[in-house]
Amino acid sequence: MREDTDIASEFVFLGLRLESGIDLAAYKQRFGIDLQTKYAEELNDMTVSGLVEIVNGNLLLSRKGKLFSNEVFAVFV
């Protein structure tokens, strides 16, 4: 459903703007989707590029990722 997809994308955009990032378990519980599985290749590429990191089960923008946040957000549209 398109509305559910929009809500999930907005959750990611807003969550990545927080210092604490996105609680991946909370995302899975809320939307029934494992973000790390759905976007495995993209998250791997962004991790290798130093744009995101996973710390204590939370997906965070790195310092570099904050500078290039639009590129990161585009993955989740």
Condensed to tens digits (0 to 9), the pLDDT of residues 61-74 reads: 999 999 999 999 99
CA–CA distance, 74 with 77 (Å, rounded to integer): 5
Q: Can you give the CATH number for the domain in which 6 is found?
A: 1.10.10.920
CA gap 24, 72 in Å, rounded: 16
Domain that holds residue 19: 2-75
Over residues 5-34, mean pLDDT: 94
How many domains does the chain divide into?
Answer: 1
- Report the C-alpha gap between 30 and 63 in whole angstroms: 27
pLDDT of residue 2: 60
Tens of pLDDT, residue by residue over 30-70, are 999 999 999 999 999 999 999 999 999 999 999 999 999 99
pTM: 0.89
Mean pLDDT of the chain: 94
Q: What percent of the chain has pLDDT over 70?
A: 97
